[in-house]
Homo-oligomer: A and B are copies of this chain.
Amino acid sequence: MNPSEFYTLAELADRFALTLVGDGEHRVNCVGTLAEAGPDAVGFLSNPAYRNQLADCRAGVIIVSEADSADCPGNHLIARQPYLAYARIAALFDTRPATPPGRHASAVIHPSATLASGVAIGAGAYIGPDCVLEAGVSVGPGCVLASDVHLGEGCRLIARVSLGDGVRLGKRVLIHPGAVIGADGFGIAHAGSHWEKVPQLGSVRIGDDCEIGANSCIDRGAIGDTVLEEDVRIDNLCQIGHNCHIGAHTAMAAFTGIAGSTRIGKNCLFAGRAGAHGHIEIADGVTVSAMTMVKKSISEPGTVWSSGIPAQPMREWQKTLGHLRRLGVTLKKLRARRPASGKEE
């Protein structure tokens, strides 16, 4: 990868409206962790767990909150939201090459597809009939777009992404390798002795600025479309069932699974391996903690839900499991004892 350009700390403070404490002429061209950053690197402190690393940090500059400024002996940039300021500065140092503009000779593009000028199509990509790719779209190597797929301005499919018939992406949607958008939902009808497939006739619509992680799956609707509103952020290996509707700015960590026809509000957070049953509704701003299973609708916005169990040493846990399994019997016995006083209940 190409080396990044250098920026002075004064330039960074000016560009991102931060307060600099230290040497404005000092120059940086990369990022680093507090533990490992050298004089060329920008570090940041966002997680308080790492505050004890401030004193010995050798970074060229550290992005900190006002409150941490006093504990920071060297150059630092004070930000109201250090992590956000870091994100913006780090983007200056991202030199990863993009898929080069133009159509690779090995790509297969159906003659009925419409590609804006300057679109980048990587090696071995397949663009099917009636697809429409708008300006600035980049389709990486090995991607497969079935038929009638629409990609809004600036969409980027990194590599080996599958988009099914009729899938629509808004602007600037970013999709990581192996993701499958618009495969059939899981619809089967029991016919006495065997299953029959229920045709999945809808598709998938994804709003502007969404990001979909590697090997995640978003199924096409059975009837009507599966919908992600704008700025939905989905990590790797997630599953969104047919006809789900995910509200804007909702984020889901790895292995999150949402069963079919469930409606998730805006600004929700799902931690890793969280999930929701089908045909329910979850209000705006709901947080679901890791390994938690939401079984019923949640109507109160902004609430936090949980059912995950943290690990214990195996022996302790097995005892707990034993108590749990016998709980009904144990409580019955305890209740059956004649209380010493009669005031219960």
Interfacial residues, chain A to chain B (CB-CB below 8 A): 1, 30-33, 36, 47, 49, 81, 83-84, 86-88, 90-91, 93-94, 96-97, 104, 106, 108, 122-124, 126, 128-129, 140-142, 144, 146-148, 158-160, 162, 164-166, 174, 176-178, 180, 183-184, 186-191, 193-199, 201, 209, 211, 213-215, 217, 219, 223-224, 231, 233, 235-237, 239, 241, 249, 251, 253-255, 257, 259, 272-273, 275, 277, 279, 287-296, 303-314, 317-321, 323-325, 327-328, 330-331, 333-341, 343-345
Q: Which residue of B lies closest to A341 (CB)?
A: B338
A201 to B313, CA, bound (A): 37
Knowing A201-B30, A201-B94, A305-B311, the reply to whether A183 touches B191 (Cβ < 8 A) is no
B-chain residues with CB within 8 Å of residue A178 when the two chains form the complex: 162, 178, 180, 215, 217
A176 touches B183 (CB 8 A): yes
A295 to B338, CA, bound (A): 39
Q: Is the interface of A mostly helix, strand, loop or mixed?
A: loop
A335 to B344, CA, bound (A): 10
- List the 3 closest pairs (A to B, CB-CB), nearest first: A162-B177, A295-B310, A304-B314
Out of B32, B239, B338, name the residue touching A224 (CB < 8 Å). Answer: B32
A321 touches B294 (CB 8 A): no
Out of B32, B97, B180, B310, name the residue touching A214 (CB < 8 Å). Answer: B180
A33 touches B224 (CB 8 A): yes
B129 touches A122 (CB 8 A): no
Out of B93, B287, B291, name the residue touching A201 (CB < 8 Å). Answer: B93
A306 to B320, CA, bound (A): 11
B162 touches A160 (CB 8 A): yes
A325 touches B314 (CB 8 A): no
A49 to B279, CA, bound (A): 9
B159 touches A162 (CB 8 A): yes
Out of B30, B239, B311, B339, name the residue touching A293 (CB < 8 Å). Answer: B311
